[in-house]
Amino acid sequence: MKLVTKFGLAAKSENELRGLLREVFNELARSEYGSHESWNALASIEVIQNEIASRYMTFRLDLPKCSMFTD
């Protein structure tokens, strides 16, 4: 399995990222424990999850503040 990089994920939509995450997870499940493929899959899963999380956090931080919850 080829390692997924942050650069390679930049142009993908959230749905594409989630689909890729599923594919890589399945690849991890098929790989032999401790193999080069399993390490690449684990690293790729981390990169994909971080990309999804960073987009979510950016979206959440850009939301307007609700006056009901401010002092």
pLDDT value of position 51? 93
Question: Over 80: is that where the pLDDT of 13 sits?
Answer: yes
Question: Over 80: is that where the pLDDT of 39 sits?
Answer: yes
Average pLDDT of span 41-69: 78
Q: Using CA atoms, how far apart are residues 41 and 70, in angstroms rounded to an integer?
A: 43
**Burial annotation 3-15 (CB, 10 A radius, 16+ → b, else e):** ebeeeebeeeeee
Helix (H) or strand (E) holding 39: helix 36-61
Sign of CA dihedral 20, 22, 28, 30: negative
Q: How confident is the model at residue 22 (pLDDT cuts 50, 70, 90)?
A: very high
pLDDT tens digits along 45-55: 999 999 999 88
